[in-house]
Structure 1
Amino acid sequence: MAGKVFTGEEVAQHNTRESCWIIVHGKVYDVSEFLPDHPGGAKIILKYAGKDATAEYEPIHPPDAITKNLPPEKQLGSVDMNTVKKVEVVIRAEDKIRQERFAQLPSLSEVLNLHDFEALARLVMNEKAWAYYSSAADDEITIRENHAAYHRIWFRPRILRNVTNVDWSTKILGIPTKLPIYITATALGKLGHPDGELNLTRAAAKYGVVQMIPTLASCSFDELVDAAAPGQSQFLQLYVNKDREITRKFVQHAEKRGIKGLFITVDAPQLGRREKDMRQKFEAEAPDEMDKNDQKADRSQGAARAISTFIDPGLCWEDIPWFKSITKMPLILKGVQCWEDALRAYDEGLAGVVLSNHGGRQLEFARSGVEVLAEVVEKLKEKRGIEFPNEKFQIFVDGGVRRATDVLKAIALGATAVGIGRPFLYAFSTYGQDGVEKILQILNDEFEMNMRLLGAPTLKDVVRDMVDASCLHQHIVSVPDDRLFYLNYESMAHAQLRVAKDAKPRL
């Protein structure tokens, strides 16, 4: 039956919970039995029962997600798209305004820093995408602290050094990179741009930096690997599946495809509450009193919940030997938040750790990566006598980085490199691949200037004595406001009354 070509009318007849067919990318699938198991709830699938669901499916799923999750017999065949009734898309007034703003985006030459991309993205992105990309845990104190922590570190520049030529290239896990940064994993790229994470792959190739492919990319893993230029290096961020056989196959496939490092996410046994995302999702979907499966808990988590219920909360230290047994790739734990766990990772023989609180999206009041960095370097020297940066055990940091000076502060404290995530999302959501390339050019220019001003011809010259981090652990301290950052920061909303359109405001 898989070779059968259906008409749109035939598919449209299967529009009930008992017989639910959908069309994705011109193929017909019977998802009737899958409805109760869909992480995002049955309601969203039933909305497209008997119809073309491609537009809803594509931004939050890799192209092969449906074929991987449905048995072959449920993949019924193809459809003559000329016979398919188009799903009426109602464009709201707000969305029309956002679309009009795209035509008003300034020239890229007028974009001077990473903050600019965020300010523009907020104006032109749709609500679902903006809520997912920008949201963070609880009161969003941690996401702000990630950035503010860098302001408690001050430079001690050196003078009268020959900085005619400066070089900010380095190696990450032995891989040459032209900048001491990597594009860290961020999910659901197609929410911001039709090409999704491909924007990152192509720009990373042009600028000689490493891209970390996310487990939850909108593009398929193989699509992103296939798009890499000859000799381009990529990492893989891994969410560990409850079904370890699925994880084993994924990891070993990645190794065969040439992935150079496996970054295992260890800070997300359960999703944090991301209330901007949750509120937006709640308002976007009216209550479904006819929904026989109670999916309220899933929907309340926003876009993230719909794609992440497979993550194993039982992942533990005892699983490390298993990972070592299934791959020879360097293993890095992503999401380490204290020196004790960094020390154990070192003792377990891992290749390194990423000091990270998941971009402030998980545990509220988890300290910033750069604050944890200072204590990890101190304690590992004290306990094991090792100095950083260290080729055998590398420390990475992510979260809150907006300037090359942030990166240089982390390097001075002992980091090998720094991961940058959200700014790249905002860049391709506004300008596509050109936006990503602009960020990398901005960082290149900033590195050149700041290394000269620091008196550091190479990254090896960016040492601990070049920074004063004595206030780093003080969480109540006066620092100058970062006006650009806080102009972009959108305050969280309270619950609001439902007001009829014709109701007069209360005086």
Structure 2
Amino acid sequence: MIRQLPRISRASVAPVKHVQRQTVPVFRARFASSSSSSTASSSSSQRTSLVVAVAAAAGIALTYKSFMPSIKADEGALSSKTDKYPGTKQPSGQKLISFEEVQKHTKRDDCWVIIDGKIYDVTDFLDNHPGGAEIILANAGKDATKIFKPLHPPDALETLDESQHLGPVDPLTVPEPEDEEPTEEEISIEEARKTLPPVDSMLLVNDFEDWAEKVLSGTAWNYYKSAADREITAGENQDAFKRYYFRPRILRDATHGSIDTEFVGMKTNLPIFISPAAMAKLGHPLGEVNLTKGAGKCGIVQGISINASCSLDEIMAAREKGQQVMFQIYLNKDRKASEALLHKVTELGASAIIFTVDTAWRSKRTRDVRAKVAVAPPPSSEGQEKSKAPLGVSQAISGYQDTNLTWNDIGFIRKHTNLPIIVKGIQSMEDAELCAEHGVEGIILSNHGGRQCDFAPAPIDLLYEMRINKPELFTKLDVMMDGGIRSGADVVKALALGARAVGLGRSFLYANGTHGEDGVIRLCEILAEEIQNTMRNIGANNISDLKPELVGPAGPWVYGNAPPWGGKNKA
């Protein structure tokens, strides 16, 4: 007998400043035969604080990721440079630098900031900051923790030279923070959070998106929702699924069944995965860790973005025992950095590498650019040339990416890891064939959610084109797709046409932004229910029962004994 989805009782989340994460049952979406059993255990979550003030800071995307990472220096052994500045010496020998001294260093050629009580000289970093020098100069001589922390992993300061770690600020000299009046946006978000329904009230995938627009900051919403130019492809990714309808078969026993499957050697309770999606902290202070924990509880595979706002160590540590993840890589202009990262990911226990190739050139992600936060340069920078840094979050976090990519780079990746390689961003049959020739284990048909090339083909259309013209490719490598998936029916259409699994990116970011980890779990529940219902109603009990003859172009069509993908019409 097909088991019903477990009901999860959750109270409504609290207003914006305190999101309550309730205890929820572990979700295992297994729909097995009547002889099988599924169990549910529970995990306790702790109360976390949602910082409203992230919104304004996030627009600049103060992304030190590749340049500045975590504090390792021994606080008791300051460099000789620190000794030049007045401060209080503790019995341990450690010197505390006064806040008054920090306030003197506010110029482009002499710039300090405080983060988590530690003082950093970021003068040499100004010209390298992907988000531009202005945001740093506007916070020079100040405590920038509130701006920095919500968007960056804890290891985001490591590449600063040790001499640029000046030491701790004297807490007795730091003035009490002034009470700030909430902005109109903060007030609006807090009011929207009060009316946010409990997570169990979310019945459709789009429910999370609808509420995310109301409760996320403008910066977060516009970064998540943004797409290239006029956003034609982003819309078409979803609309294209309307061109395909099912051809249900009847009088088939629907008592038994399973939606478990496997792709590129990774087993999953659902035929879905979390597509690599960056900056989850824009929506929730726990960021990608929520995605990892939710994926672990639901038994699905997470694709970790190289631009995640949590550190790789944090994310990997949040996994359940045996939980499988894929790591997305953009190759760095400095190939040595990519080599080191590939070795690290392999050692940490990732199950596959996703090589993203559909960002050959920077795109204009219009919403993201429009939503940029204008930061006025401080008086000390008057007369200086304004930075030509990127204008949106997307561009601010991608400055390290190499645009000089070739097919030889698959060999480069293979040289530095023994993990399966999945090439993400295939947008033509010809390139799918070349991937097979280069021996990769899998491909993801994707146009980056419509965020790169407007008028790129919808992945579901490319999947159908491959099924008709190159069916043999499905036996040479595992084919996945992402882009436009908004329901379990969409998932089933893709599986019937030959996809081994499908990815969702934005939807998981929205669910994380509205309900945190509980939202991630609930999204999986919705998809599991819809996938199961759709499959049984078209005559497929198991994933292996999904065949091309069960789906086709909308409207009347007849293939008789010669379907367009070849073979015989079998009952």
In the aligned structure 1, how far is the partner of 2:502 from the partner of 2:468? 19
The aligned residue for residue 93 of structure 1 is 184
Secondary structure of 2:113's match? strand
Deviation at 1:17, TM superposition (A): 1.6
Secondary structure of 1:333's match? strand
The aligned residue for residue 354 of structure 1 is 444
2:522 to 435, 438, 445: 438
Are 2:497 and 1:406 aligned? no
Are 2:230 and 1:139 aligned? yes
**What are the within-5 Å matches in structure 2 for residues 185-224 of structure 1?**
185-224=276-315
> Counterpart of 2:521 in structure 1: which amino acid?
E
1:295 to 373, 387, 396: 387
Counterpart contact for 1:39–1:309, Cα < 8 Å: yes
Deviation at 1:123, TM superposition (A): 0.8
Task: Point out the more displaced range, 145-154 or 96-105.
Answer: 96-105
Deviation at 1:46, TM superposition (A): 0.7
Deviation by residue 1:37-90 (Cα, 9 ceiling, x = unmatched): 11111000011111121222233332212223x222212223344643437755
**What are the within-5 Å matches in structure 2 for residues 175-190 of structure 1?**
175-190=266-281
Counterpart contact for 1:136–1:274, Cα < 8 Å: yes
Alpha carbons of structure 1 residues 462 and 308: separation in structure 2 relative to 1, 3 Å? same
Counterpart contact for 1:241–1:312, Cα < 8 Å: yes
In the aligned structure 2, how far is the partner of 1:349 from the partner of 1:17? 50
In the aligned structure 1, how far is the partner of 2:302 from the partner of 2:485? 16
2:542 to 458, 462, 467: 458
Deviation by residue 1:330-389 (Cα, 9 ceiling, x = unmatched): 1111111001111001000011111100011000000111111122334433xxx44x3x
2:103 to 12, 18, 23: 12
Alpha carbons of structure 1 residues 465 and 163: separation in structure 2 relative to 1, 3 Å? same
Task: Point out the more displaced range, 6-15 or 306-315.
Answer: 6-15
Counterpart contact for 1:51–1:87, Cα < 8 Å: no
Alpha carbons of structure 1 residues 82 and 405: separation in structure 2 relative to 1, 3 Å? farther
Q: List runs of 5+ in structure 2 lacking aligned partners.
A: 1-77, 80-93, 557-571
Deviation at 1:6, TM superposition (A): 2.7
Deviation by residue 1:311-338 (Cα, 9 ceiling, x = unmatched): 0000111222211111111111111100
The aligned residue for residue 17 of structure 2 is none
The aligned residue for residue 482 of structure 1 is none
Alpha carbons of structure 1 residues 461 and 104: separation in structure 2 relative to 1, 3 Å? same
Q: Which has the higher helix share?
A: 1
**What are the within-5 Å matches in structure 2 for residues 224-243 of structure 1?**
224-243=315-334
Are 2:460 and 1:375 aligned? no
Counterpart contact for 2:196–2:211, Cα < 8 Å: yes
Are 2:332 and 1:332 aligned? no
Under a length normalisation based on structure 2, what TM-score does the superposition of the two structures give? 0.78
Secondary structure of 1:33's match? helix
The aligned residue for residue 51 of structure 2 is none
The aligned residue for residue 103 of structure 1 is 194
Under a length normalisation based on structure 1, what TM-score does the superposition of the two structures give? 0.87
Alpha carbons of structure 1 residues 77 and 127: separation in structure 2 relative to 1, 3 Å? same
Counterpart contact for 1:42–1:293, Cα < 8 Å: no
In the aligned structure 2, how far is the partner of 1:245 from the partner of 1:419? 30
In the aligned structure 1, how far is the partner of 2:197 from the partner of 2:448? 31
In the aligned structure 2, how far is the partner of 1:52 from the partner of 1:218? 20
Task: Point out the more displaced range, 19-28 or 89-98.
Answer: 89-98
Deviation at 1:19, TM superposition (A): 1.4
Q: Which runs of 4+ in 1 moved over 6 A?
A: none
Cα RMSD for the two superposed structures: 1.9
Secondary structure of 1:350's match? coil
2:397 to 307, 316, 328: 307
In the aligned structure 2, how far is the partner of 1:4 from the partner of 1:378? 72
Counterpart contact for 2:137–2:377, Cα < 8 Å: no
The aligned residue for residue 431 of structure 2 is 341
Counterpart contact for 2:134–2:377, Cα < 8 Å: no
In the aligned structure 1, how far is the partner of 2:422 from the partner of 2:387? 35
Counterpart contact for 2:357–2:423, Cα < 8 Å: yes
Secondary structure of 2:195's match? coil
In the aligned structure 2, how far is the partner of 1:168 from the partner of 1:324? 32
In the aligned structure 2, how far is the partner of 1:229 from the partner of 1:399? 27
